[in-house]
Amino acid sequence: MDNLSLAIMKKWKISFCMVISYLVLELSYQGHAVQGTCMKKETRIILIGKTGAGKSATGNSILGKEAFKTDIGMLSETRTTSYHTTCRFGRKLVVVDTPGLEDTSLSTSEVLTEITKSYTMVSPGPHAFVMIIEPGRFTKEDKRVLDEYEKYFGQTFHDYLVLVFTKKKRIEKESSLEKIVEKVPENHSMKKLLKAIKKRYMAIDYSYNLEDQKEDVLKLLDIVEKIKEENNPEFFESKLSSNTEKLFSYLSKILDFIGDTSNEEDRREKIRAYIFNMYTMYAIQIAAMVAYSYFGGDGITVGNAIIEKLIEYGSFYLKRHPV
């Protein structure tokens, strides 16, 4: 085959990759597109907690719609990280639902992949981590979930953490949340946690009519706004942040290259949806397992290895033909 034929074939492969990338971006976006026009203000939340704590139901309450699948049975419906967005209260809400990381059926590499995935979905970083727990109980499963995030993100993670207790009506019937918290012994891990997060906690209840929970949701969003005011930057920033933004930048260049004219808000949503679908690729799990095995379980190293793999998939041709 002569040089001209090889050059034509190379150009054809690059064009084919661009078209496929664009189609994936567009198709991914269809499932996560936000209806209506949002103001530029955005609030990004990651829900954490043990299996069956009520993360998905809380996510639906925040979004004001049945976005995350819930189940009244003993088994959790959430087996992998997912996200949804909406326009509500004059802002764009991005909510990420995570599986219970205390689940013994999850391998260490899967745990690290889910944490990285949740963080990537809210690039450049979440404004708050909201931990869902049952009132009057702080179990070893709750502690394990907390330990995983502390190990991965460090103690500054506490500066962006909110505790949300479920079963608000039961709490109010028997006593009050403040009194329940006061009764916790000083040496208990729960009391230490409350001090570390500056007593940012509240209670919520669930209803079939999601509009009934509007008051609780507004209270939670008010707490998140105070977190944003108290911290610099206003969102949680980790050693993954620069890489996640690099990933968004590369994928934005794909859209530029193809001629997409979406506004900044829609473009970021397309990219977020595309990345979400990219995580389903088996190679991402391989990247996590190899990195974990090689680096001995350093969570940030594993996370960056996963994101680098996404960058490689989404932009390899742009490295040869920069925009």
Shared-domain flag, residues 76 and 115: yes
Q: What's the number of CA atoms in the CB half-sphere (13 Å) around residue 229?
A: 6
The reply to whether 243 and 221 lie within a common domain is no
Average pLDDT of the residues in 260-281: 76
Quick one: CA dihedral 281, 122, 15, 287, positive or negative? Answer: negative
What number of other Cβ atoms are within 10 A of residue 74's Cβ? 7
Q: Indicate whether 2 belongs to any domain.
A: no
Total structural domains within the chain: 2
Are 184 and 260 in a shared domain? no
Q: In sequence order, what are the residues at sequence separation of 6 or more whose Cβ sits closer than 8 angstroms to the Cβ of residue 240?
A: 116, 119, 120, 300, 303, 304, 307
Mean pLDDT across 39-44: 81
28 pLDDT exceeds 60?
no
Q: What is the pLDDT of residues 192-224, one digit of tens each?
A: 888 999 989 999 987 767 778 899 999 999 999
**pTM of this structure:** 0.80
- On whether residue 183 sits in a domain, the answer given is yes
- The residue out of 196, 230, 264 marking a domain boundary is 230
* Tens-digit pLDDT profile for residues 239-249: 888 788 888 88
Question: If we measure between CA atoms, which residue out of 280, 256, 281, 284 comes closest to residue 270?
Answer: 256
For residue 43, pLDDT over 90 is answered with yes
The contacts found for 285-290 with CB under 8 angstroms, 24 or more apart, are 285/109, 285/110, 285/113, 288/109, 288/110, 288/112, 288/113, 288/116, 289/107, 289/109
One domain, residues 124 and 260 = no
Residue 230: band (very low, low, confident or very high) from pLDDT cuts 50, 70, 90: very high
Element (H, E) at 95: strand 91-97
My answer on whether omega of the bond before 126 falls inside 30° of 0, hence cis, is: no
Answer yes or no: is pLDDT of 65 > 50: yes
Same structural domain, 196 and 264? no
Q: What is the pLDDT of residue 314?
A: 60
- Please write the tens of the pLDDT for every residue from 169-197: 888 787 888 888 888 888 788 888 889 99
**Residue 85 lies in domain:** 42-230
The answer on 292 and 220 residing in a single domain is no
Measured between alpha carbons, how far is 167 from 14 in angstroms, rounded to an integer? 55
| Alpha carbons 290 and 282: distance in angstroms, whole number | 13
- The model's confidence at residue 293, banded by pLDDT at 50, 70 and 90, is low
20 pLDDT exceeds 60?
A: no
Report the pLDDT averaged over residues 254-262.
74
In angstroms, what is the C-alpha Rg of the chain? Answer: 21
Within a domain: residue 6?
no
Q: Find the CATH number of the domain harbouring 214.
A: 3.40.50.300
Average pLDDT, stretch 28-51?
72
- Report which of 241, 225, 248 is spatially closest to residue 125, judged by C-alpha positions: 241
Residue 1 lies in a domain: no
- In a shared domain, residues 69 and 144: yes
CA 265/CA 256 separation, integer angstroms: 15
